[in-house]
Chains A and B, each alone.
Chain A
């Protein structure tokens, strides 16, 4: 009984995901082939990390536009440190992300600047810093130090980035569902005033989610550098909006208060699969479906979700208004 409502809500995304996988398996020979699956997971784990951070932020009713350029900047930092080894590279990339997260958290909770504007500014700043650090070029990663293992290596035949994403999502789910901090996130997003009256540490919760989001962007940046062998200061443009889209497709309300870590993962995979299937379709050569269909389909998914969500939101609002008047 316990999680039936939550499971149901996740299921529509999961269902769409399953249908898409079945469709791909039926239509393309190598769709479920090891190579495709592993490549797909390796590449998308980067976006999964960012989407997880975004999911936490959005559940408090905020937004973080800075994740894409933070990832780009972190990739540069990680690339510079990569000659010293895997751990230093990883740590410094993550720290770069955390720094931006701390900045966001301070601007939003201390100066009371709207999350949209605060993170817009830090997005510009992170992007500028990344470019300055890298001198407008890609920074090659050291291949001798073992740094690239974190992006290109496997454990038990499974890509390390995917392991990381799975672990992070499991941890995220644990935090959200089984710690006070996780429940406070949803409470703050679901009704800030009520949360305040209940004595929840509203500002602290907000601050921490932005730091988490920064950390996730930093880890994604490390992945970016390790997978593609270079710190890339010009990458990351528009990542934030695709992350928002996957979070929303995953059923998390942008107004905050409702969300699921698992469904966010489904959202990322769903949007990623659309791209993957289009690649196969082109490979088959029957119809020339270009990459642009990917964005149109992603937009269509988002539209669908938004309309469905607006129904739910309307229902809730009616109830709330009834009790408010």
Chain B
């Protein structure tokens, strides 16, 4: 009897570790699958094209921002300014296509500029974050806090704190249009996810970025231009925010600088954490972030569809974050 017990004990320890490792690696997918199975069983009209589209549409802008955040976190930083940069891009775009700044000969030229300029400006502000962080050796939390606070004010100053309402289908297709029944914003999200995953896996930029996050000293000694890469990462995060900002205002037919992107930095960080990217840098799971965002969205949807108040989703989200981070921590040690 005693022998059998001790044999079990001996097996139990490695099994526990193995389960932990397995969970830390595939836990996100497992959680998503379980959520889907649960919904298939208990939520009416779950397996419909419409449900899928609703969920994907709602999650797309968060995913786009979270991808930029994943890269920033992979390099060992964080970006709190994403929501404000969304607001800046969102405030700027209508001014351009409504010809408030320059008179464009036709609406398509205006719309083209309305896509490109705000995104570039958001990228520029992202670069500013990176400059501040590398030039003054400021902690990323503080460095990006500045634009978190000032950025929304800047956005409001574009429209004098007024909400700009518009109906411009040429512009709004980015938030409302569909191709083969798939919302365009979902397509954009997909492209960005794939592009980011490819960047991390295949480009020198991606590898150097992770090297900086993993060991900045070693990276510098191996010839990585740390300052340059960091500035680029924050620029990319700014660009992602800009794109998300444009999609949000197109979807809403209105640019309200007070609300666009409000609190999105927390959603994005939550998605990154649930997706298994440690906040200590050196790793960046782009698809994990996508899954993380989907899980958070699906939890919310599941609860709503089953009559549980939205607020409960927040509590569950909190639990998910702690669980994910704790799993990663345990598996790492």
Complex A–B touching at CB under 8 A: yes
Contact pattern, A 20-42, Cβ under 8 Å of B = 1, otherwise 0:
00000000000000000000000
- Of the residues A111, A288, A293, contact of B153 by C-beta under 8 Å: A293
8 residue pairs bridging A and B, Cβ less than 8 Å apart: A111-B322, A113-B325, A117-B322, A127-B311, A128-B318, A238-B263, A298-B149, A313-B137
| Chain A CB within 10 A, most for which of B141, B149, B279 | B149
Query: Which residues from chain A contact B314 at a C-beta distance below 8 Å?
Result: 124-125, 127-128, 131
> Is there contact, CB below 8 Å, between A121 and B309?
no
Q: How far is the CB of B43 from chain A (nearest CB, A)?
A: 21
Given contacts A113-B325, A241-B145, 17 further A-B contacts (CB under 8 A): A111-B326, A114-B325, A120-B321, A128-B314, A129-B315, A136-B310, A241-B149, A254-B141, A288-B160, A291-B161, A292-B154, A294-B153, A295-B156, A296-B150, A296-B157, A306-B143, A314-B137
Q: How far is the CB of B295 from chain A (nearest CB, A)?
A: 14
The CA of A131 and the CA of B317, in the complex, are separated in Å by 14
Chain B residues within CB distance 8 Å of chain A: 78, 80, 132, 136-139, 141-143, 145-157, 160-161, 257, 262-263, 266, 269-270, 273, 279-280, 309-319, 321-322, 325-326, 329
> Is there contact, CB below 8 Å, between A295 and B329?
no
Query: Which residues from chain A contact B279 at a C-beta distance below 8 Å?
Result: 114, 116-117
> Is there contact, CB below 8 Å, between A299 and B319?
no
Known: A241-B145, A306-B136. A118 touches B150 (CB 8 A): no
> Is there contact, CB below 8 Å, between A131 and B145?
no
> Is there contact, CB below 8 Å, between A128 and B312?
yes
> Is there contact, CB below 8 Å, between A306 and B311?
no
Which A243-301 residues have a C-beta within 8 angstroms of B?
244-245, 248, 254-255, 288, 290-300
| Interface residues of B, dominant DSSP | helix
Known: A124-B317, A299-B149. A113 touches B329 (CB 8 A): yes
> Is there contact, CB below 8 Å, between A299 and B150?
yes
| Chain B CB within 10 A, most for which of A63, A131, A307 | A131
Q: How far is the CB of A124 from chain B (nearest CB, A)?
A: 4
> Is there contact, CB below 8 Å, between B311 and A128?
yes
| Chain A CB within 10 A, most for which of B139, B257, B269, B319 | B139
Q: How far is the CB of A108 from chain B (nearest CB, A)?
A: 11
